[in-house]
Amino acid sequence: MSHFVCWVFGNDVEGQLEAYCEHSAKSYTLKTLQEIEEEHIGRIPASAMDIIRANLKGRDPIVIVSEEMLYDKEGQPSAILRDACNMGANTVLVADDQGSFKVLAKVSQENGKWDWYIIGGRWKGQLRLKPDTIPPKESLKAYESDSGLAPANIMEIIDKKLHEVMGKDLQGLGPENYPSNAYNRLPKGMVDFKAMEDEYMTDPEGGQLYLRAREIISGVKWLTWAECVEQTRSPNGWFSRAKAEERYTEQNVIKILRKELGQKFMWLEEALLKLPDEHFERVVRGNAWRPLAFVRNGQWYERGRMGWFGVTYDEMGWVEWTDHVEAFLAEVPDTEMITVVDCHI
């Protein structure tokens, strides 16, 4: 499933997020792998099983259960299955008597946005404190805020993942692992947005990656993966994955990007690379801090509805969302708290 960063403004983080919990499910539905692929047409350049295989190789939590485990004797979602989901499983596969797999899809309340969350999480220390300021006592430094409605072992899972990616042991994170100005909760007026952006733009795996990619594609006409999919889509809505991949990968610019950037190329939002010059730098700099969703006074705002594999639906364009967030922030008092939350769905 997916993680995304959400900011909660003001106090009572738990209370404001509670209304958007997905755990009011009354029943479950099962979807075949083909149905999952059809839902993600044009959004993931791989089959559902390819992604599941990759998750297994990466040792992402995947739980396999039988259909009999879905409900208890009273016909309610079983405690066993809820425990399985609370293990931090990214995928739950349900096997039938013939050994065929389906993917579990939880049916939840209409407003369900998350199934668990944790303060900081994958976005620990995202906020930077302005120089020469003293934050109030309710502020939270990066290493102080491993709290939230998360599975008990989730930090062990997250730290293990960070260890695999960053090549160092991050168990028991303490002050020495973060900049002294890294926080998970600060008043808006004390957040140094410019410092965050400047730091991101000098990061070889952040802004520098976008600048290098932008340099490579400069003056070249090319198609994103989504555009290749649309060009191969038939009137009935179907598209040829093979033709889309052929059209996409045969482009010289894609070959160069993959050669120059390696696997890091997959981290890029291709749509950002096609932004006009007057928007490109501002939107890319906003990657340093711009959340995918935020909550204020109990009201949820989002760029798009988050789905599996990090895919969003019904989403705003990057320029529109950046404009929206910036305008919203301008109306928030400097004394109002911002709390960084890692949400899972």
Token couple for 106: 């939880």
Q: What are phi and psi of 41, to 5 degrees?
A: -55, 130
Please give the model's pTM, rounded to 2 decimal places.
Answer: 0.69
Sequence-ordered strand ranges (E) for the chain: 3-9, 27-32, 62-66, 91-95, 101-107, 116-119, 127-128, 140-141, 182-187, 293-296, 299-302, 305-306, 312-313, 337-344
What's the pLDDT score for residue 73? 74
Q: Which of 121, 81, 53 is nearest to 342 (CA)?
A: 121
Query: What's the burial of 233, exposed, middle or buried (CB within 10 Å: 0-12/13-18/19+)?
Result: middle
Q: What is the pLDDT of residue 143?
A: 78
In the prediction, which pLDDT does 40 show? 57
Of 186, 210, 214, the C-alpha closest to 337 is 186
Token reading at 329: 């922030």
Residue 61: its pLDDT value, please?
62
At 345 the pLDDT is 77
Shortest CA distance to 126 belongs to which of 261, 294, 241?
Answer: 294
Which stretches in the chain have pLDDT values below 50?
24, 107-109, 146, 152, 166-172, 307-313
What was the pLDDT predicted at 152? 47
Cα separation of 42 and 226, whole Å?
5
CA distance linking residue 335 with residue 139, whole number of Å: 12
Residues 6 or more apart whose CB falls under 8 angstroms from that of 125 comprise: 141, 142, 143, 178, 179, 182, 183, 184
